[in-house]
Amino acid sequence: MNYYLKVLRQYKDFYGRADRREYWMFVLVNFAINIALATVEQVITPESGILSGIYALFIFIPGIAVTIRRLHDIGKSGWMQLVILIPLVGWIWFLILMAKEGEDSRNQYGESVRETRF
């Protein structure tokens, strides 16, 4: 949960690096919140989607920011997230990029997150 809150606090930070743990914990908590909101919506007002829509707007910019920082961690430009626009192959390539281990040393986007964490 700390990683999720860290991403929300850094919603406007498109510079720097985010390691795999930070990115995937954000994705996991985000997925759990989406499931919970969908369940609540089905109980309260089926077919409305208002809660999910508001949450999607709320999480849109922090999600882009953490993805850009994750790409920076592996030495890629933030524009590489547009690879998902390539049908079928783009999503697979994107998942491989997100699962790839970050660079151990300093790169053009800053210090390694592992070096600064401990």
The rounded distance, in Å, linking the Cα atoms of 115 and 101 is 14
pLDDT for residue 116:
59
Q: What pTM value is reported for the model?
A: 0.88
pLDDT for residue 63:
96
Q: What percent of the chain has pLDDT over 90?
A: 64
Each domain of the chain, given as residue ranges in start order, spans 2-108
Kindly state the tokens that stand for 83.
């690879």
Q: Which helix (H) or strand (E) holds 39?
A: helix 20-44
Is 110 strand, coil or helix? strand
Is residue 118 scored above 50 in pLDDT?
no
Is residue 114 scored above 80 in pLDDT?
no
How confident is the model over 53-105, as pLDDT tens digits? 999 999 999 999 999 999 999 999 999 999 999 998 999 999 999 999 988 88
Considering Cα of 83, then 85, then 81, then 104, what sign does the dihedral take?
Answer: negative
What's the rounded mean pLDDT across residues 12-16? 90
Residues 6+ apart with CB under 8 A from 4: 25, 26, 29, 30
pLDDT band at 109; cut points 50, 70, 90 = confident
